[in-house]
């Protein structure tokens, strides 16, 4: 059975990236590796659209976000954290674990953060050191308008603008410098198309400045150490060498496609997928759809586990289910990373085949036709 992955991380690895990672390993203190890291550091700036340093850490994205908390802040510091899903929730619990004072702003799952509500919270909490935002909330497939939010935060406070870009970077337009973002974290197994194990952290001048007064205890995730090594295209601890070699190739692919083209491809794929799903009579979950992952309500009368089994066992397709309150109620199709238009036709075709087995009523082909139509409208 031919297998196809449509999950929001790990995302499929391009064949040439997989083969590069399978080449004989090199030592991380060797000049060859220094060359790789120099190129990676440069291309990460392009990916984040920044002239500031982007640090590479050996950890999951969660570790990358932790590095920003422990390196920039002190116990008792006030943080505003916007929570509209599983990951937003994690960025509430994490600073609490480090003794920070967290002001939680809850957003309904599937709804983008509202600028005016956040502004009100910000004005009430003038002493907040930072606002943590999720650009694309993976659990709900919902995108936030980071450009406008960052602008509002900059205009109304001195709080650092910190962005979880884990499933957004490489999918949604993102301009670290132009938008006035201070911290952005992403992971390797997302838009960067390589296996999990690396986190990337971009830091503004203000963020770097705030590292000087931070008193939270830290060692492995001490970004001062990482920044110092970064200046010499090095890392303080042994990095995940094969993954760095992989991300070097992946960044070259992104650079060669052009970041604007990568963003517009994700917008085009997600839009066409939504057209296809809607044409099948399926209901979309998010008010503000992510370009990385599309959440869909399970149609009435179809049971998630049986649906997923047919999709997986008979069609070789892996998608993601709902989480927490939405387990069994929604499913999520990812189109983040190494996907093209024909992949969207493929996944809609498999969804149709699966719905048909589960006696859901629709005209066969109506979903793939709508997806195709959406793509062809762009070509004309």
Q: Which residue from 63, 85, 170, 322 is in contact with a copy of itself, where contact means CB under 8 A? A: 63
The Cα 346–Cα 89 span in angstroms is 33
* DSSP β-ladder status, 293-297 and 330-334: antiparallel
| Segment lying near a copy of itself (by CB under 8 A), choices 11-19, 40-48, 276-284, 350-358 | 11-19
Exactly one of 41, 49, 61, 112 binds a copy of itself (CB under 8 A); that residue is 61
> Interaction with a copy of itself in 206-245: which residues (CB under 8 A)?
216-222, 237-243
HEC letters along 320-354: EECCHHHCCCEEEEECCCCCCHHHHHHHHHHHHHH
Q: Which is nearer to a copy of itself, 8 or 110 (CB)?
A: 8
Q: Are strands 160-164 and 130-134 parallel, antiparallel or unpaired?
A: parallel
The region of 58-66, 139-147, 352-360, 363-371 touching a copy of itself under the rule CB under 8 A is 58-66
Number of residues forming the site for a copy of itself (CB under 8 A):
52
127: number of Cβ within 10 Å: 10
Q: Is 59 in the site for a copy of itself (CB under 8 A)?
A: yes
For residue 64, what are the contacts with CB-CB under 8 A and spacing of at least 6?
Answer: 57, 185, 186, 187, 199, 200, 201
When asked if residue 10 is in the footprint of a copy of itself (CB under 8 A), the reply is: yes
Neighbours of 221 (CB within 10 A): 21
- Answer for which of 62, 156, 233, 288 binds a copy of itself (CB under 8 A) is 62
The H helix count followed by the E strand count for the chain is 13, 14
Which residues touch 270 (CB under 8 Å, ≥6 apart)?
289, 290, 291, 292, 294, 335
Closer to a copy of itself by CB, 138 or 354: give it: 138
Site string for a copy of itself, 94-123 (x = CB under 8 A): x--xxx------------------------
Alpha carbons 91 and 87: distance in angstroms, whole number:
6
CB of 359 to a copy of itself, least distance (A): 26
Name the minimum Å distance from CB 207 to a copy of itself: 19
Q: Which is nearer to a copy of itself, 33 or 176 (CB)?
A: 33
Based on CB atoms, which residue is closest to a copy of itself, 188 or 271?
188
Phi, psi of 164 (to 5 degrees): -80, 105
Q: What is the SS3 assignment for 164?
A: strand
88 is a site residue for a copy of itself (CB under 8 A): no
CB of 152 to a copy of itself, least distance (A): 29
Collapsed DSSP state (helix, strand, coil) of residue 187: strand
Cβ closest to a copy of itself, residue 149 vs residue 192: 192
Q: Which residues bind a copy of itself (CB under 8 A)?
A: 3, 5, 7, 9-10, 12-13, 18-19, 21-30, 58-63, 66, 93-94, 97-99, 187, 189, 195-197, 216-222, 237-243, 318, 320
């Amino acid at each position: 059975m031919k297998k196809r992955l449509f999950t929001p991380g790990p995302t499929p690895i391009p064949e040439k990236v997989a083969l590069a990672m399978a080449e004989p390993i090199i030592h991380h203190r060797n000049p060859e590796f220094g060359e790789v890291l120099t190129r990676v550091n440069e291309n990460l700036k392009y990916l984040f659209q920044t002239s500031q340093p982007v640090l590479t850490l050996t950890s999951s994205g969660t570790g990358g976000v932790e590095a920003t908390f422990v390196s920039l802040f002190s116990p008792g510091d006030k943080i505003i954290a916007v929570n509209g899903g599983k990951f937003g929730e994690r960025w509430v619990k994490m600073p609490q674990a480090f003794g920070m004072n967290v002001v939680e702003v809850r957003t309904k799952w599937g709804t983008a953060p509202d600028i005016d509500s956040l502004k009100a919270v910000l004005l009430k909490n003038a002493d907040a050191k930072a606002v943590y935002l999720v650009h694309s909330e993976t659990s709900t497939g919902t995108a936030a308008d980071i450009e406008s939010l960052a602008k509002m935060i900059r205009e109304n406070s001195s709080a650092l603008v910190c962005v979880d870009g884990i499933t957004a970077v490489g999918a949604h337009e993102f301009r670290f410098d132009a938008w006035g973002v201070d911290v952005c974290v992403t992971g390797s197994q997302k838009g960067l198309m390589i296996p999990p194990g690396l986190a990337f952290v971009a830091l503004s001048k203000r963020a770097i400045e705030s590292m000087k007064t931070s008193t939270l205890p830290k060692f492995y995730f001490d970004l001062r150490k990482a920044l110092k090594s970064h200046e010499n295209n090095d890392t303080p601890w042994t990095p995940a060498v094969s993954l760095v070699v992989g991300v070097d190739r992946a960044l070259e692919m992104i650079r060669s496609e052009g970041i604007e083209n990568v963003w517009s491809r994700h917008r085009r794929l997600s839009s066409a997928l939504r057209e296809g799903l809607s044409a099948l009579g399926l209901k979309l979950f998010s008010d503000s759809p992510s370009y990385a992952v599309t959440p869909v309500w399970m149609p009435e009368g179809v049971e998630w586990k049986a649906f997923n089994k047919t999709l997986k066992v008979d069609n070789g397709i892996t998608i993601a289910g709902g989480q927490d309150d939405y387990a069994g109620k929604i499913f999520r199709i990812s189109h983040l990373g190494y996907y093209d238009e024909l992949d969207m036709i493929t996944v809609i075709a498999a969804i149709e085949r699966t719905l048909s087995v589960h006696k859901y009523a629709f005209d066969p082909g109506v979903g793939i036709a709508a997806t195709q139509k959406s793509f062809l409208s762009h070509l004309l």
